[in-house]
Amino acid sequence: MNLEPRPFFSTPRVIVGRGAVKELGSLVSELGARTGTVFVVTDATLAKLGVAMRVQEYLTMGGVETALYSDITGEPTEDVAMAVVTAARRVRPSAVVGLGGGSALDMAKLAAVLATNTGVVADYFGSKRFEVPPVPLVLIPTTAGTGAESSRNAVVSRGGQKAFLSSPRLVPTAAILDPELTLSLPPNVTAWTGMDALSHCMEAVLSTTSTPLTDAIAVRGIQLICEHLPVVYREGANLPARAQMQVGAFLGGFALNAGMVVGHSIAYTLANHLHLAHGLSCALALPSAIAYNATAAPERVALLASAMGVDGGGAVVVRAVRRLGTSVGIPAAWQTLGLSQEDLPALVDECVTRYPRPNNPRPLDTTALLRLYEAAWEGLDTPA
């Protein structure tokens, strides 16, 4: 057990259940935004489908004015993030509502905190802190994956690479988990986002900065995701299973308090070079992360096995994760995605130098990681 004092951050107020989004107007009012304008941040697709308009209507019914920002497509760049911030500052919102997947929710976080703080997004990539509290922030996920609605993190693409902001000021004031908003997710996005949530939970367990608190949250998340992800992949309209996946993703966001390990580092290198969705890259990397750490943290891997309901060590857990991935359409071999074997050394170098993980149970070793990458490229059992 890690006995070092550690702070934990998660969303203090959560509304869960079918039709929960209808409570948005009264919720925002209760949070203090009874006057002024609520700034709604979403993506272009949800705006086109009319989901954003529905959310605005729920706010209007609560007696507040709204302003919509929906110019978000794909993974936001630094320029996109600043455009959102500039629009928010122009509105001077009394509150911010984020609607969508991780990208839209992360942009809503930045809109809320930089509406009250000075400077540009890039100022806060390093050690500079947000000095002023944000305006009230309500996040409404339409996927079950990133856990942005319960974490203190935001991600921006900078120069083609992932750049991160992390602060207690980025923790939302409230979240609404309405499974009806996830019913339209196609099977592939359902799978990718679900495996992203599983990665958060499993990597949190492996982290050397895990605690009994993050373990308890992560283990329950693993159980929910392993049981319900195959169901929602096959039966997209299964509302109870969708609801359980949203809870699993929320728990994964909380588990991020323990920090991610080498799996996310590997995932970033794949996403940077192949332009993959974050959840897909995490799904591809997760078995390798478990295999790499199996001998260094056997008791941690045993906890993963228990959470998954399997009996055995690292090799058993790796196979169980791969079976789950295969059941929801995750490719077994990296080469099937167009990755050249000649590119692997460069990816390994990027993993070690750009995305080091001091909280990984096993130090990142270039030679060992290259063997790991080569095995995953071929779709073979990854070496310890």
- Round to whole Å and give the CA distance between 117 and 130: 6
* Region(s) of the chain under CATH 3.40.50.1970: 13-182
Spatial neighbors of 174 by CB under 8 A, at least 6 apart, are: 11, 12, 13, 14, 15, 27, 31, 136, 137, 138, 139
User: Is residue 300's pLDDT more than 80?
Assistant: yes
- Round to whole Å and give the CA distance between 361 and 366: 15
* Region(s) of the chain under CATH 1.20.1090.10: 187-378
Write down the number of H helices and E strands in the chain.
14, 8
- Round to whole Å and give the CA distance between 349 and 352: 5
Compute the mean pLDDT over every residue in the chain, rounded to the nearest whole number.
95
Confidence of residue 380 (pLDDT cuts 50, 70, 90): confident
- Residue 233 DSSP one-character state: H
pLDDT attached to residue 62: 85
Which class does domain 187-378 fall in?
mainly alpha
- Round to whole Å and give the CA distance between 287 and 376: 9
Q: What is the mean pLDDT of residues 27-55?
A: 95
Q: 3-state SS string over 337-350?
A: HCCCHHHHHHHHHH
pLDDT digits (tens, 9 = 90+) for 270-296: 999 999 999 999 999 999 999 999 999
Confidence of residue 73 (pLDDT cuts 50, 70, 90): confident
pLDDT attached to residue 94: 97
pLDDT digits (tens, 9 = 90+) for 305-341: 999 999 999 999 999 999 999 999 999 999 999 999 9
CATH of domain 13-182: 3.40.50.1970
Q: How many C-beta atoms lie closer than 10 Å to residue 160's C-beta?
A: 9
Q: Which of 63, 66, 62 is nearest to 52 (CA)?
A: 66
Q: What is the mean pLDDT of residues 86-104?
A: 97
Q: Which residues of 137-152 are buried (b: 16+ CB within 10 A; e: fewer)?
A: bbbbbbbbbbbbbbbb
Angle at 120 between CA 117 and CA 124, to 5 degrees: 80
The pTM of this model reads 0.95
Phi/psi at 66 (nearest 5 deg)? -135, 155
pLDDT digits (tens, 9 = 90+) for 122-179: 999 976 799 999 999 999 999 999 999 999 999 998 888 888 899 999 999 999 999 9
pLDDT attached to residue 161: 83
